[in-house]
Amino acid sequence: MSQKTAEERYQLGLEVVEKVYGPGSSQLMTPAKGVPFVDEIVSHLFAEIWARPGLSIRDRRLLVIGASAMLGRDDLIEIQVKGGILNGEFTDEQLDEIPLLMLFYAGAGNTTMTFKGIQAARASVKAAG
């Protein structure tokens, strides 16, 4: 089995970004190609971690949502939930369950941010049509 070149890993990473966040999403990263931080995210996080077998994109997304809830990061939750909605990974009922469960694991303050992120993702997708 041959090793992938840095460019092949980068391109694979962009393909995975598209699968995770929807068509056109990788275009946000391409202007920053060559910036070490962005290159590491694309070439390692997406090409090697998100692309691994064993967990589906939805499974990984739920883990990221849980971690983001613990951090109180509505902005990260919005990004993940929007990607999940665009990929057809969640029903409205499932999205309603996330903050209810997280209330008992992440605390009321962090869960308020979780709820806010979910609502923002829903509004963003609805506004985009």
What length does the chain have? 129
Taking Cα atoms as reference points, which of 105, 104, 102 lies closest to residue 80? 102
Q: What distance in Å separates the CA atoms of residue 59 and residue 8, rounded to the nearest whole number? A: 25
What is the reported pLDDT for 129?
A: 83
In the predicted model, residues of the chain with pLDDT beneath 50 are none
Three-state DSSP state, 20: helix
The whole-number pLDDT of residue 95 equals 98
Q: What three-state secondary structure class fits 52?
A: coil
Domain chopping of the chain, boundaries:
6-50, 57-128
Looking at residue 29, the DSSP 8-state letter turns out to be T
Closest CA to 74 of 44, 128, 115: 115
Q: What pTM value is reported for the model?
A: 0.90
CA triple 112-57-110, angle to 5 deg: 10
Burial class (CB in 10 A: 0-12, 13-18, 19+), 40: exposed
Q: What is the pLDDT of residue 2?
A: 66
